[in-house]
C-alpha cells in the first residue's frame, strides 16, 4: 500500500472488462499507475480484503481509497495531479454483450407463515 501522490495503485483482476479498459486508458494516456492483480498476487488480495474494498477496479491515491471506478472522478484527478487531459468521449465504460459466464435462472421459493 502506498501514499505516493505520483503513482495510482489499481487493484484489478483478469475477468473485469472495466479493469481492462482502465488499464488500457491509463496506459494510452501515460497515467502513472501500478497494477495489483488480486487473483495473481496474494499480497494484493490480502491488502484488498484488509482495506475492505469490494469492487475491481479499486484505487489508492494520495492516501485515499476509491472503491470502484467513476470515470469523471478519475478524469478530474488525473488532470489535477498529472496535468493529463483525457477526452470525455474516452471515459465511456463499454460492458461486453457476451458474458464469459452463463446466467442460470433461479426459482423463487416463498414459504407461507
- What sign for the dihedral angle of Cα 65, 28, 88, 90? negative
Q: Which residues contact 2 (CB under 8 A, 6 or more apart)?
A: 9, 34, 60
Q: What per-residue confidence (pLDDT) applies to 110?
A: 52
Question: Which pLDDT tens digit goes with each residue over 79-112?
Answer: 999 999 999 888 888 777 766 666 666 555 555 5
The answer to whether position 53 is within a domain reads yes
The verdict on residue 32 lying in a domain is yes
In a domain, 98, yes or no: no
pLDDT for res 111? 56
pLDDT tens profile 14-63? 888 899 999 999 999 999 999 999 999 999 999 999 999 999 999 999 99
Burial 1-14 (b: 16+ CB within 10 A, else e): eeeeeeebbbbbbe
C-alpha cell at 85: 487531459
**Is residue 2 situated within a structural domain?**
no
pLDDT for residue 92: 81
- The CATH number of the domain holding residue 15 is 3.40.30.10
Give alpha helix (H) positions in 1-113.
17-28, 42-50, 71-82
Residue 31 belongs to some domain of the structure: yes
- Quote the domain boundaries for residue 77: 8-90
Domain annotation covers residue 3? no
In the chain, how many domains are there?
A: 1
Amino acid at each position: 500500500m502506498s501514499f505516493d501522490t505520483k503513482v495510482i495503485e489499481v487493484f484489478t483482476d483478469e475477468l473485469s472488462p472495466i479493469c481492462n479498459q482502465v488499464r488500457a486508458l491509463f496506459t494510452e494516456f501515460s497515467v502513472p499507475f501500478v497494477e495489483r492483480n488480486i487473483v495473481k498476487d496474494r499480497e494484493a488480495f490480502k491488502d484488498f480484503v484488509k482495506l475492505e474494498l469490494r469492487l475491481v477496479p479499486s484505487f489508492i491515491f494520495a492516501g485515499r481509497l476509491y472503491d470502484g471506478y467513476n470515470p469523471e472522478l478519475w478524469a478530474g484527478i488525473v488532470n489535477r495531479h498529472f496535468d493529463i487531459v483525457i477526452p470525455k468521449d474516452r471515459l465511456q465504460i463499454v460492458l461486453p454483450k457476451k458474458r464469459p459466464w452463463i446466467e442460470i435462472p433461479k426459482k423463487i421459493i416463498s414459504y407461507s407463515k
